[in-house]
């Protein structure tokens, strides 16, 4: 998985994991640009959202 902002490879564990409806949400913090983002997984599909406070 890569940081959606700078493309840095995230090869370390998520900060936090939780369930949101049918999604598994994992929160990561990029160690290069400092962006905190969530990864939502559902049936193997994964997409990112970036918390607005970080933009």
Residues of this chain that bind Zn ion (CB under 5 A): 3, 5-6, 8, 30, 32-33, 35
Pick 5 or 25: Cβ nearer Zn ion:
5
C-alpha 13/C-alpha 11 separation (Å) is 7
DSSP string, 32-54: TT--EEEEEEETTEEEEE--GGG
Pick 16 or 32: Cβ nearer Zn ion:
32
Find the shortest distance in angstroms from Cβ 37 to Zn ion: 8
The residue assigned the tokens 């640009």 is: 33
Pick 42 or 49: Cβ nearer Zn ion:
49
């Amino acid at each position: 998985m890569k940081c959606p902002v700078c493309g840095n490879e995230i090869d370390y564990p998520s900060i936090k994991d939780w369930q949101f409806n049918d999604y598994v949400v994992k929160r990561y913090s990029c160690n290069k640009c400092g962006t905190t983002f969530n990864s939502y997984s559902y049936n193997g599909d994964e997409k990112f959202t970036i918390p607005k406070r970080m933009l």
